[in-house]
Amino acid sequence: MIIGEYRVITKEDRARQKAIYAAHVAKLADAEARQLVAEHFRRRMEIFEKYDLYRDTFPTGLDGGSPDENRELREEAKRFNEACKPYFERIKGKK
């Protein structure tokens, strides 16, 4: 739904995003990779849902998002990259 310049995020949008994330996780063959990615996606959804209530009040709209939301998403990306390093090292060593 579009209101002015803002697109309101609905429960259906979040459900669709969760389904997309679940499909990505299901494609992974390795159990450890599946766990790492599922945890990352779960944390991202928590961040998105935390800011959904305020999303249409942000002055820059949805595209810019909240500085706090963007900071939390960057922190989660860094956490995910650090968590994956040992996994990638093991995979690289197997080749």
Looking at the 3D structure of the chain, how many domains does it have? Answer: 1
Partners of 2 in beta bridges = 7
53 in Cβ contact with 66 (< 8 Å): no
**Segments forming the whole domain that contains residue 39:** 2-94
90: its two tokens:
């093991």
DSSP state of 66: -
**3-class SS of residue 7:** strand
| pTM (2 d.p.) | 0.78
Q: Report how far Cα 47 is from the mean position of its chain's Cα atoms.
A: 8
The string of pLDDT tens digits covering residues 30-81 is: 999 999 999 999 999 999 888 877 766 655 555 556 788 889 999 999 999 9
Alpha carbons 62 and 56: distance in angstroms, whole number: 7
